[in-house]
Amino acid sequence: MWNSGIIAEILGGRLYGSESAYFKGCVIDSRAAFEGVLFTAIRGEKTDGHLFINKAFEAGASIALAETRSLGELGLPVIPAGKAIIAVEDSLRALQDLARAWRKTLDPVVIGITGSCGKTTTKDMTAAVLAKSFKVHKNLENHNNEIGLPLTILNAPAGTEIMVLEMGMRGLGQIRALCHICSPSVAVITNIGTTHLELLGSQENIAKAKWELVAALSEGGIAVLNAEDAFSVNKAAAADVKKVFYGISGKYASPDVYAVNIHSSGTLTTCFEVVSGEDRAEVRLPLPGEHNVLDALAALSVGLAKGVSLAEGAKALEEMELSKMRLEIQQGVFGSTIINDVYNANPTSMKASLHVLAERGGAKTIAVLGEMYELGDSAVPGHRDVGRTAAKLGINTLITVGKMAEDIAQGASEAGFPVSGLHVCSECAEAASLAKSLIKEMGSDVWILIKGSRGMRMERVSGALCQEE
């Protein structure tokens, strides 16, 4: 096992204190420190982690990773007996280098997952499927960036056989940099949409950025790709790797793993039969919507590639734990049912959730929809397309939240949505109050979808509507 002396040698850092302080994971928040953990002090926009080294030691941290410049400015903290500080030039770079070294030490199979939407759900499903046969470690929530991914790796326990790593990006070169840290041998791309369009300028650039994951595959790597996604299929034509396609209709490529007989069951469950060659299995997925069937097919495809049978994978999906704030069903006020899907949003996921509301909600449906960010020039058409979808699906009442979301109402109106059912709100409290009044007026058995980009904090609406009367 590693200790402070080994870590200092790996990083070429200067060691202060004990050479034998042991390593048991990594944190960047002193409040999350525990016995034996390495605390990495990072300079942030709002605070400087170097100010909290003593707090981390008090909480049990055995090692602190810090920058030489900051230690010179602030002074070397008192180092308790048996503990250590390792000084480096750049603590974030050191964190990443250390994660790369820990991955080499553990030598697991690495599954990389990216896409414009569905990344986190696919990551959770893939980890659940693989856990049937392997010791699996995955990102917590969406810890998928230049800090979260190395932290995930450094917190992988000894004996980890497979890492399932979600990878986010906000520009070209970022996924390539993450791949340099983790060296994936399997790449999953859920889809290539318009999220981050304002940052990358075109869907072609988004595809190029996502494709860095496939380009980084080690020799003998496998790309698991969505047969319903045109950009993925087009990019795959020139990729010199083994390709596995999954899908439902096979719109752009013939899927190797596909779903048939899809139907809903109960409040949440979606049932289908998964097929791969002569192999078949019945799946009871505890999530609604065909978009989640696609995510499940991606996970089952990875499982097959690593020797997990369809039957074993199907059982794992049925038993998997669901993430919070993603199509989370909650009891609402006045006998209503809340679909709390507020973790994030883009036009594709927003329309998919509206389909779930229409499918499950029946005759009494309310959609409370907030702004969608990072759409660039597609912001207006993207919001309006969501509104048109709400009208097409026959949603009873539409409440929009925020200035940009007014284009959702505009799109709905243009598509024939009844004016009496359209409501435009400027902020969450107003939307929650209005929704509560409408639910009371409509009577019991109302279904309400609440969704918007993370920055909208739409959980303020769902929280208000889930309060007991």
Tell whether 286 and 416 lie within a shared domain. no
pLDDT truncated to tens, each residue of the chain (469 aa)? 899 999 999 999 999 999 999 999 999 999 999 999 999 999 988 889 999 999 999 999 999 999 999 999 999 999 999 999 999 999 999 999 999 999 999 999 999 999 988 899 999 999 999 999 999 999 987 789 999 999 999 999 999 999 999 999 878 999 999 999 999 999 999 998 756 555 556 778 888 989 999 999 988 999 999 999 999 999 999 899 999 999 999 999 999 999 999 998 887 899 999 999 999 999 999 988 899 999 999 999 999 999 999 999 999 999 998 777 788 889 999 999 999 999 889 998 999 999 999 988 988 999 999 999 988 888 999 999 999 999 999 999 999 999 999 999 999 999 999 999 999 999 999 999 999 999 999 988 999 999 999 999 999 999 999 865 4
Tell whether 361 and 301 lie within a shared domain. no
Domain-located, residue 82: yes
pTM, to two decimals = 0.85
- Among the candidates 319, 342, 373, a domain finishes at 319
- Output the known binding site: 115-121
Domain-located, residue 232: yes
Domain-located, residue 60: yes
Tell whether 176 and 84 lie within a shared domain. no
Backbone angles phi, psi at 137, to 5 degrees: -130, 140
Domain of residue 54 covers 4-89
Domain-located, residue 98: no
- Output the known binding site for ATP: 115-121
Indicate the number of domains in the chain.
3
Tell whether 72 and 153 lie within a shared domain. no
Written as six digits, the tokens of 234 are: 């087009």
Tell whether 15 and 115 lie within a shared domain. no
Tell whether 383 and 287 lie within a shared domain. no
CATH, residue 380: 3.90.190.20
